[in-house]
């Protein structure tokens, strides 16, 4: 693996891009075809490649083949030349668009992507106990559960959260994703055998600011170490870099990803997603999660069986690599560097065999809250909604709708009951309080009463 610098190095030639000149030329031609007249500097910006020694060479090649032409200039220098596509160029561009309609930043090579994923791996990093407790402070969890979560994260091995629904498994998974230190560079897209795989996802990846605020300095010393290890000497600030620093702009700096796959997840969605109309690929969710957390939520709610989904993960979890297949049949290896969290309300023994469960070393039972914990959750939720807490009202709730009905408490109940209570109070144009009447109305609309269930 080549030595890594603080920033992805800016390519100084077509060869250093890791791409063929033909691929860059094709992408350039499609860009002009789609966007119309463009200045040289705007073409370079669209492809995120430097004008000098890269795009100027490509544009010269396209001019020589009479696929584009210069139709004026907006100033002095090649960057100000205005390029237009010729008739021959339009025919060629339409052929290219029929092959694939990707127009955007130039991709990086698979080898470069693999190198940077490995360099920025979270595996082996440490989350301090106090940081873990701060990240989980918004949840009411037993010390036993918190003490189990820490070693699980630091091991880098997958984590299985199981237990009754509504007790915070998803919230724990999200908190883990939000506490990961540092940031990573990811490419807009990857080139594999001339095919484009779009990786950067504006809906799932969170960009970091390029410029620092006025009251904090730019972190320069050991920036890559910070990006890969999160070692900031207890500084919690996110890394920043000056917008004018030279680097390969085909890469963007993002927070460590937190990707959530829920009931919509299928076996097919865990492989490359090919768009038959645009004819390029979208990276699967676990690939977008590299360097961060992939939370597979509500395992057992998917169309595919839990056993089939878990079997799909056998090789990636064990070998730390995954295998993808292009539509043309070409199979290739990609790094698998996501911290995987499975969350389910089903018994793990019912989901997979013993051999697979051995591969998931960390299995944490998220239990129902104790009555003390339930009371604390209720008080916190009441404060959030500005509902005056009443011990009398709270005891009425517990006695009437839990002890009397033999209903087990769940961590989510206070939030849902109080939300219903607020809605009822608002509709009556009265302030929300823990009165017996409002509690009754909220609980009757939220819980399925035993006699109702028996009559269905």
Cβ pair 187, 113 in contact under 8 A: yes
Cβ pair 33, 93 in contact under 8 A: yes
CA distances from 333 to 113, 256, 312, 323 (A): 11, 22, 15, 5
74: its two tokens: 């907006």
Which 8-state DSSP code applies to residue 125?
Answer: -
The span from the CA of 227 to the CA of 186, in Å, is 12
Cβ pair 172, 151 in contact under 8 A: no
**Bridge partner list, 109:** 191
For the whole prediction, is pTM greater than 0.75? yes
SS3 355: helix
Q: Which of 200, 207, 217 is nearest to 290 (CA)?
A: 200
The span from the CA of 79 to the CA of 60, in Å, is 12
**Bridge partner list, 195:** 192
pLDDT value at position 356?
75
The span from the CA of 159 to the CA of 348, in Å, is 12
How many CB atoms within 10 Å of residue 137?
11
The span from the CA of 158 to the CA of 142, in Å, is 21
The span from the CA of 304 to the CA of 230, in Å, is 37
CA distances from 57 to 76, 149, 281 (A): 18, 54, 28
Domains, the chain, in order of start with CATH, read: 20-106 (1.10.10.10), 115-365 (3.40.50.300), 371-455 (1.10.8)
Cβ pair 342, 360 in contact under 8 A: yes
**Bridge partner list, 341:** 159, 295
Q: Which of 414, 433, 416, 421 is nearest to 375 (CA)?
A: 414
pLDDT value at position 244?
58
pLDDT value at position 1?
36
Residue count (the chain): 456
H-helix or E-strand spanning residue 187: strand 183-187
Note down pLDDT in tens along the chain; length 456 residues.
Answer: 333 447 999 999 999 999 999 999 999 999 999 999 999 999 999 999 999 999 999 999 999 999 999 998 877 777 889 999 999 999 999 999 999 999 999 999 999 999 999 999 877 678 888 899 999 999 999 999 999 999 999 888 889 999 999 999 999 999 999 888 889 999 999 999 999 999 999 999 999 875 544 444 333 333 333 333 334 333 344 445 555 578 999 999 999 999 998 877 888 888 999 999 999 999 999 999 999 999 999 887 777 787 788 888 888 888 899 999 999 899 999 999 999 999 998 888 887 777 777 778 899 999 999 999 999 999 999 999 999 999 999 999 999 999 999 999 999 999 999 999 999 999 999 999 999 999 999 999 999 764 444 333
pLDDT value at position 357?
78
H-helix or E-strand spanning residue 81: strand 81-85
How many CB atoms within 10 Å of residue 111?
11
The span from the CA of 159 to the CA of 290, in Å, is 16
Place of tokens 């095919």: 195
Place of tokens 């104790």: 370
Cβ pair 14, 24 in contact under 8 A: yes
H-helix or E-strand spanning residue 316: helix 314-319
CA angle 43, 45, 47 (to 5 degrees): 70
Q: Catalogue the long-range contacts made by 131-138 (C-beta closer than 8 Å, 24 or more residues apart).
A: 131/179, 132/179, 135/175, 135/176, 135/178, 135/179, 136/172, 136/175, 138/171, 138/175
How many CB atoms within 10 Å of residue 444?
13
Q: Which of 387, 407, 397, 403 is nearest to 448 (CA)?
A: 407
**Element counts in the chain: helices (H) and strands (E):** 19, 17
């Amino acid at each position: 693996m080549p030595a890594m610098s603080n920033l992805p190095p800016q390519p100084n030639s077509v060869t250093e891009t890791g791409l063929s000149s033909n691929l860059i030329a094709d992408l350039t031609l499609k860009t002009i075809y789609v966007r119309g007249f463009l200045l040289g500097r705007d073409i370079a910006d669209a492809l995120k490649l430097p004008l000098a020694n890269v795009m100027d060479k490509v544009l010269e090649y396209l001019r020589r083949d009479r696929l584009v032409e210069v139709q004026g200039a907006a100033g002095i220098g090649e960057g100000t030349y205005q390029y237009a596509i010729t008739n021959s160029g339009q025919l060629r561009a339409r052929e290219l668009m029929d092959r694939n309609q990707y127009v955007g930043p130039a991709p990086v090579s698979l080898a470069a992507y693999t190198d940077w994923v490995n360099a920025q791996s979270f595996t082996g990093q440490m989350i301090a106990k106090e940081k873990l407790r701060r990240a989980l402070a918004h949840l009411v969890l037993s010390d036993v559960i918190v003490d189990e979560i820490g070693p699980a994260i630091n091991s880098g091995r997958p984590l299985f959260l199981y237990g009754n629904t509504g007790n915070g498994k998803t919230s724990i998974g999200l908190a883990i994703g939000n506490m990961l230190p540092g940031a990573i560079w990811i490419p807009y897209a990857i080139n594999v055998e001339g095919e484009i795989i779009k990786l950067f996802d504006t809906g799932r990846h969170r960009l970091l600011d390029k410029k620092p605020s006025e009251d904090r300095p730019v972190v320069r010393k050991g920036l890559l170490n910070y990006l890969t290890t999160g070692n900031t000497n207890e500084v919690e600030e996110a890394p920043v870099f000056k917008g004018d620093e030279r680097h390969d702009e085909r890469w963007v700096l993002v927070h460590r990803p937190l990707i959530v796959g829920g009931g919509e997840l299928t076996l097919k969605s865990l492989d490359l997603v090919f768009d038959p109309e645009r004819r390029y690929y979208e990276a699967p969710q676990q690939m977008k999660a590299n360097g961060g957390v992939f939370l597979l939520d509500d395992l057992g709610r998917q169309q595919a069986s839990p056993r089939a989904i878990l079997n799909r993960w056998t090789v990636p979890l064990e070998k730390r690599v995954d295998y993808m297949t292009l539509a043309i049949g070409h199979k290739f290896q990609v790094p698998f560097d996501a911290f995987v969290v499975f969350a389910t309300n089903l018994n793990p023994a019912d989901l997979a065999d013993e051999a697979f469960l051995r591969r998931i070393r960390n299995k944490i039972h998220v239990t129902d809250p104790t009555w003390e914990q339930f009371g604390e959750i209720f008080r916190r939720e009441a404060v959030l909604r500005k509902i005056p807490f009443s011990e009398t009202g709270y005891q009425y709730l517990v006695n009437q709708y839990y002890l009397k009905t033999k209903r087990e408490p769940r961590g989510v109940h206070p939030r849902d009951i109080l939300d219903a209570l607020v809605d009822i109070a608002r509709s009556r144009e009265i302030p929300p309080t823990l009165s017996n009447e409002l509690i009754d109305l909220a609980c009757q609309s939220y819980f399925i009463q035993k006699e109702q269930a028996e009559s269905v």
